[in-house]
Chain A
Amino acid sequence: MAFQKVCSKDDVWEGEMKAFTVDGTDIVVVHAPGGELRAIQSICPHQEVELADGTLEGAVLTCRMHLWQFDVLTGKGVNPDHAELALYPIKIEGDDIYVDVVGIEPKFSHA
């Protein structure tokens, strides 16, 4: 089975995000306001800057470097809208968060 335990829900509070490494793949677990959880690629598709250093407002994640914005619920770019984040399958069992990184690569996009 490819799902790996990453952390517990207590590790990433609602409205927060945190970087983890799963099987050598860097990911960010995002706990969006409203309680939805997502696992996204760790770096911005633009210039590979760490997304965990960005800011989260509602479901919109803004990269710290050039202010690219993404909807973390869908992975779609908000601005620019052609960009996209890779999402990793995530599941919750009790308080534990599991993520499957197999076969999914980070996405890249230019300005």
Chain B
Amino acid sequence: MESTHKSNMATPVLTETIDLAAKFPGRVTPDARPGYSGWMVAKEALVEVSTAIRDELGYDLLSNVTGVDYPEQSKLEVVYHVYKTTGGPALTFKTQTERVDPAEVPSLVSVWPGAELQEREAWDMFGIKFTGHPDLRRILMWEGFEGFPMRKDYKEPFHEEDNKPLKSRWPEGKHSYAEARNPYGDNIMFKPGFDPEKWTPTDPEEALYAALKKYKTEEKDGIKTDHIIVNMGPQHPSTHGVFRAVVVLDGETIVSLKPVMGYLHRNHEKIGERNTFLQNVPYTDRLDYFNSMYNAWPYALAVEKLMGLKVPERAEYIRVIMGELSRIQNHLILFGMLWNDLGAYFTPALYAFEERELILDIYEAVAGSRMMCNYQRFGGVVRDIDEANMKKIKDLVFERLPRKIEEFDRLLSENEIFVARMKGIGYLSPEDAVAYSVTGPTLRAAGIPYDIRRADPYGIYDRFEFDIPVRHNSDLLDRYLVRVDEIRQCLRILQQAVKQIPEGPFLAGKPQYQVRVPAGEVYGRVEAPKGELGFYVISTGKGNPYRYHIRTPSFINITSVEKMCVGTKIADFVTILGMVDIVLGELDR
């Protein structure tokens, strides 16, 4: 079964150099700021240039869209990272607009529909208005929130100082509780002149419902039928957290759907820009809390690239070992929870959790914590894997896990009820998958062998022999089967890694709590278990990152959920959402 569903995708060798400035004279210039790379596109020509980038140059996957605030130059910048699904490095282009309200930039949703949620996020956080965006509302903050939190001049409640470490802690650190220090007196910021006593509420969801298809009343077989709106979530067991979907139903069939999020939002990026570079590492654990081992990896990659650090051999192997174990346990949780969603309550989930427990035991013994590992450092990892734990890992990857994966496969994969619920449901065409910036197993189940471990290798993944599992039906069953195959490939990588791992140092240089990061921008990305996880970091040479943005797979994969759901039954939405594999810590950040 396995052999027919793999792809030996090769890492492409890129020889061409792209000169956008020569192609679009006057409209595109190279980004010449020291430490920066890519192209600066005039915002009037943005749609034209990006259409050419997509159609003529073949950069079909829009990976990352984010804003950057430069109050000194009085500019707001939008940064785009695009990739080819055949592999290779990124093409970065940017556009700038005056820092006045409204700051307008043309929307790229017409070119890459995957920009939809990301542009909404940039509007929400920076107040960059994307003209031509079909549904430009706030996304993580609520409608009616005052201010744009990621702008440099925004001060949040409990704000003490712009950057950590805070000066009040030492040498005269008299402890006080945060609420006593709140400069605004309470936890809320209002518009100037706003009086909460005299305020009459309007429906804050009006815009949301307007964005859905309108209510429709129609005659069908002599019966007058209405479309109805159902709010699934934020408190709904099948959404795996506080995710909310507003669906318009015709009977039981989904007519349109809008994801609503932000219930777990804590502005990770703002916290990240206050933190020093190292202090961000434990915070990344709280993004996708199932894969905290993998989360800090792209961040470490990005900062190491800026610092020019070389990671020791052993540390590279340790990262791969821990990362692949993380991928296995992520997929196991997904299977278990999927069965919960389907109604097989908790038996398969707990079978999956057993194996996950054993992996977490290793994490606890090596990193010190089961879920919040805080294991990566710039230039390596914090602690070596000792003999005893290495033996445990070997036992798992050579003996127990292969056996248990087969058992799991036997338990689930051929079950007729399961197959009936999964087959042909949630179809997403490969073209749509790429256009909506879907990454990870969902993209590979649509027949596109795009895996960053091969497409643009990081760490030492180019040394291992493994296949990229691919399926072609792009339904739920294929998304499940791709993940089963992926676990087998993880085990293959792990078996090679534990055999090859050399002795030696596990951290480059001495442990430092304040690292010097040269000025510049960098985008580090990895194939996290859920899809592409990327960190966009700008350093100005100071102790704190100037910009710290995370491209999370859960957030961007959710863009395509409406496409998958329209036309299916409401009960299938639960399974479709489960297979997108979202985790709210990462979705809302």
Bound pair: A and B? Answer: no
**Chain A residues at the B interface, C-beta cutoff of 8 Å:** none
**Chain B residues at the A interface, C-beta cutoff of 8 Å:** none
